[in-house]
A = this chain, B = another copy of it.
Amino acid sequence: MSKEKETSEEKEARKEAKDSLKNEVKELRTRLISHMQEIRDAKLPIIVLVEGWAAAGKGTLIKELISEIDPRFYNVTSPVITPEKEARYPFLYPYASAIPENGKIMFFDSGWMEDAVRKYLHREITKEIYKDRIRSVNEFERQLRDGGYLVFKIFLDIGKKEQRKRISSLRGNYSSEWRVSDEDMWQHNEYDLFRATYESFMEKTGKEIPWHVMDGTKKRKTVRDTLKLLLKGVEKALEEGRYVGKPFKEEFPLIKMPKLREVDLSPTISEEEYKTELKKLQKRLAELHDIVYRKKIPVILCYEGWDAAGKGGNIRRITKPLDPRGFDVMPIASPIPPELNRQFLWRFWTRLPRSGHIVIFDRTWYGRVMVERLEGFCTEDDWKRAYNEMNEFERQLTDWGAVVLKFWIHIDSDTQLARFTDRQNTPEKQWKLTDEDWRNREKWPQYEEAIDEMIEKTSTENAPWYIIESNDKKYARIRTLKIVIKALEKACEEHLG
Contact = CB atoms under 8 A, between A and B. Distances in A.
A279 interface: no
A107 B294 contact: no
A360 B76 CA distance: 14
B71 A325 contact: no
Given A68-B316, A336-B338, 14 more contacts: A37-B428, A37-B431, A62-B324, A63-B323, A66-B324, A70-B312, A71-B315, A71-B316, A71-B362, A72-B312, A72-B329, A72-B331, A75-B328, A175-B287
B70 A294 contact: no
Contacts of A34: 428
Interface in A317-337: 319-320, 323-325, 328-329, 331, 336-337
B59 A323 contact: yes
A421 interface: no
A191 to B, nearest CB: 23
A428 B337 CA distance: 27
Contacts of A360: 71
A109 interface: yes
Tell me the dominant secondary structure on chain A's binding face. helix
Contacts of A323: 59, 63
A181 interface: no
Contacts of A328: 75-76
Contacts of A66: 324
A396 to B, nearest CB: 26
A290 interface: yes
A82 to B, nearest CB: 14
A415 interface: no
Q: Which 4 A-B pairs have the closest CB atoms?
A: A71-B329, A76-B324, A78-B325, A37-B431
Given A76-B324, A287-B175, A328-B75, A316 B59 contact: no
A67 B316 CA distance: 8
Nearest to A430: B37
Contacts of A70: 312, 316
A47 to B, nearest CB: 15
Contact of A72 (B178, B287, B362): B362
A109 B324 contact: yes
A320 B67 contact: yes
Given A37-B431, A175-B290, A71 B324 contact: no
Contact of A325 (B109, B178, B315, B336): B109
A329 to B, nearest CB: 3
Interface in A411-450: 428, 431
Contacts of A431: 37
Contacts of A291: 175
Contacts of A178: 294
26 contacts: A59-B323, A59-B324, A59-B325, A62-B324, A63-B323, A63-B324, A67-B320, A70-B316, A71-B315, A71-B319, A71-B329, A71-B331, A71-B360, A71-B362, A72-B331, A72-B362, A76-B324, A76-B328, A78-B325, A109-B324, A109-B325, A175-B287, A175-B290, A175-B291, A176-B290, A336-B337
